[in-house]
Chain A
Amino acid sequence: MPHILTVDDSASMRQMVAFTLRDAGFEVSEAEDGSEALSIAENNSFDLVLADVNMPKMDGISLIRKLRTLSNYQYTPLLMLTTESSMERKSEGKEAGATGWIVKPFEPDNLVATIRRVLG
């Protein structure tokens, strides 16, 4: 069962994502900001990380940049969850090593479809 890490400072959003993904049969861990996510990720091997962009302490883009430097996340799909679809943020994310992005708001079903697609 693929193990997904969802990172969001908004509890409601995180719970919604986590619930949706668990309901779809994924194993889900949660973190509420980038630095927490990083420390959880270092001790685990997630198959996919879904990170909100705008977070306190460490934002999603910095998280992705750091994760990419870890040997077990070199090829892992790292997705940004963002409402800022301006190319600037996206390319910043891409530059940091993001696989792609999901734009908020989204339908839960579509989130699952996208993640299934990414995980193959």
Chain B
Amino acid sequence: MGIDVSRFREAFFDESEEGLATLEAGLLALENGQADEDTLHAVFRAAHSIKGGAATFGFPDIAEVTHHLESLLDQARSGQRRLGSPEINALLSAADCVRQQIDAARAGESVDTATLKPVLSALEGLHEAAPAVAAAGASDRVASASTTASAGVGWRIHFVPEPHLLKTGNDPIGILRELHHLGECQVRCDVAALPGLQELNPEALLLGWDIELTGEIAEAQVREIFEWVEDDCTLQVDPLAPTAEATPQAAAERPEQVASSAAPPKVASASASEQASIRVPVDKVDALINLVGELVITQAAIAQDSSGLDPVANERLLNGLSELERNTRHLQEAVMSVRMMPVGMVFSRFPRMVRDLASKLGKQVRLQMSGEATELDKSLIERLSDPLTHLVRNAVDHGIESPEKRAAAGKPPEGTLSLAARHESGQVLIEISDDGGGLDRERILEKARFNGIIQEDPATDEEIWQLIFEPGFSTAENVTDVSGRGVGMDVVRRNIAALSGRMDISSTPGAGTRLTIRLPLTLAIVDGMQIAVGDQVLVLPLGEVIESMQPRPCDIEGVAGHPRLLRMRGDFVPIVSMRARLGTPGEAPPLTESIAILVEAEGRRIALVVDQLIGQQQAVVKSLSTNFRRIEGIAGATILGDGRVALILDVGDIVRGLRQPQAA
């Protein structure tokens, strides 16, 4: 028959990664004294499961490392060992090692022994230094070969089970049948202990057997059959006749008790199913989302076409349509939720990272996390990982001061770094805050002037903080290998902007810095404002819109008759004419008859001038770059209710374009 176990490897890899995360989080909690007994059990179980899976799915090297992990944890679990910092360190490096091995195994490779050796010997050293522990863990197999006696012509077996044997689910008939498979059997049943029919208790087994088994059979083979019941019976196994010399093939262990790691040929992993959840390839989910998107568009088109119908004559039809609209919306929400994942998936790597970073930098940092269960679209989660990592590194490296500096400033030597996520008005908010020294206003200005980023000093702190996002900006006195070379923050902002997200900074000298990231729940749907420019309809993502107004002459500032700035909400902001930007033919209406929309991106506000506002609608985003190519200033396209295609504007791109000298 032969089942190919390789098909379950993918599931094993995924599960091992989850297990490693549990292990790591648990070890860190143990180190911080935030753990209870359950934590230790969970950590042990994680190591144990990975080991079991590794051995089963053909990765003996992974099983070996996890075996060492498990042994040390087992000592801790049974109270024979306290997990101090040498132990935790060794266990964490072993976990890293296992992660490397899993990654390598995914790629069909293996980690060389030179990498593994120091980790293993560290674990072994600790393990052996411990009080004597049952070394049984080292041999998870049944030692049956050692008791193997020589085989002869056969065996005389005296087998008297305890009366309760049936209640263990064991069946003497099955045992006899097994013996029969080994060789010729002469069976005599002893019924002497049976009471009379009236007192007979069918649940009590009161029989005994004497069996003469003939054939060249090892004693171990016979005993193996009784392995499960040997504590529940009287068993004697004697040679039938004077034994001959030992036969070489005597030590035959039963195969099901023996480790085997023969690797079957590779086969693409099948999609795995479980009861509580199923793993589905992302492209299937995306196809579903796409189809629902089409459905939404069709529904919107029908709604638009039917809007002129007589409500009385078409009552049933219109009721049906409104039902359809509601169901479509619910369907869309349900499908979108399939892609939602908790932000904790990204957060989970930080405790370890912060710990390692802090100890490397000689700092004391306590990490607080909240809102890990906040859900966000999978694609956002994946692309959030790098920017967040960068920000957390920055906070530990540049934000939180050394214990000495903190003490001198009258603060506790241990700094606090908080990561928080929550939903707020249809967006996800992620906050990274520290109680460090805060941003240094003067140094930022100095640096910006020096690098030619600014000609004149910005007025507000907010504008100054935004400078750290400029390309090539860095205020770190020493470039460290922790936060890199100051190339990061502009990339971070670009990454967040690419997710239609926004970043804000607030900072108080001596008290710390808070970075707030606002993200949409998903990139597949956008709440949009429809605007008209000439005969074109465009969609502006609502998240970036602050307000819209019809400009009054007194609010317009111009140069040589060309309007350049518009006063909105008390500030003058640059005017961007969408007609000019899109090259719309025809005469533009005067500014005072157009609509100015105040938008904000990358910390800057501009006024987009359009002909008309049409209304708000959810737009299903279709990628332009996959269907056509990327166009600057355009985030994507959508299909309107009437079937026309509308472009979705990328405000971030437009703002960035303004910074180029020619566009100013």
A interface residue numbers (CB < 8 A to B) = 9-16, 19-20, 23-24, 30-32, 54-56, 68, 74-78, 83-88, 91, 94, 97-114, 117-118, 120
Contact = CB atoms under 8 A, between A and B. Distances in A.
A107 B275 contact: no
B641 to A, nearest CB: 44
B12 A120 contact: no
Given A86-B137, A104-B52, A106-B56, A15 B272 contact: yes
Given A30-B274, A75-B166, A107 B255 contact: yes
Contacts of B1: 23-24, 109, 112
Contacts of B260: 105-107
Contacts of B231: 91, 94
Given A23-B1, A105-B261, A15 B11 contact: yes
Contacts of B328: none
B255 A110 contact: yes
Contact of A99 (B141, B168, B203): B168
A12 B254 CA distance: 25
13 contacts: A12-B272, A15-B8, A16-B57, A30-B274, A85-B141, A86-B136, A87-B136, A100-B170, A100-B228, A103-B140, A105-B260, A105-B261, A108-B3
B269 to A, nearest CB: 10
Contacts of B259: 105
Nearest to B134: A86
Contacts of B273: 15
B562 interface: no
B225 to A, nearest CB: 9
A23 B174 CA distance: 23
Interface stretch (B42-50, B481-489, B551-559, B578-586): B42-50
A54 B140 contact: no
A98 B255 CA distance: 21
Interface of B: 1-3, 5, 7-9, 11-12, 15, 41-42, 44-45, 48-49, 51-53, 55-57, 63, 134, 136-137, 139-142, 166-171, 173-174, 177-178, 203, 227-228, 231-232, 254-257, 259-261, 272-276
Nearest to B45: A54
B11 A120 contact: no
Given A9-B49, A75-B166, A114-B256, A103 B174 contact: no
A97 B51 CA distance: 26
A99 B443 CA distance: 74
Contacts of A103: 140-142, 256-257
Contacts of A98: 168-169
Contacts of B136: 85-87
B275 A31 contact: yes
A19 B170 CA distance: 25
A97 B272 contact: no
A98 B227 CA distance: 13
Given A56-B42, A91-B231, A10 B169 contact: no
B11 A12 contact: yes
Nearest to A114: B256
Nearest to A91: B231
B48 A54 contact: yes
B168 A97 contact: yes
A103 B254 CA distance: 11
A16 B5 contact: yes
Contacts of B8: 12, 15-16, 19
B142 A85 contact: yes
Contact of A104 (B15, B56, B275): B56
A105 B12 CA distance: 14
A86 B56 CA distance: 19
A30 B45 contact: no
Contacts of A91: 231
Contacts of B5: 16, 108
Contact of B45 (A19, A56, A85, A111): A56
Contacts of B49: 9-10, 13, 54
Of the listed residues A15, A102, A113, the one surrounded by the most CB atoms of chain B closer than 10 A to its CB is A15
Given A15-B8, A32-B274, A100 B227 contact: yes
Given A10-B15, A54-B48, A107-B260, A120 B171 contact: yes
Given A85-B142, A108-B5, 12 more contacts: A32-B275, A56-B42, A74-B167, A87-B136, A94-B232, A103-B142, A105-B260, A107-B256, A108-B2, A109-B1, A120-B171, A120-B173
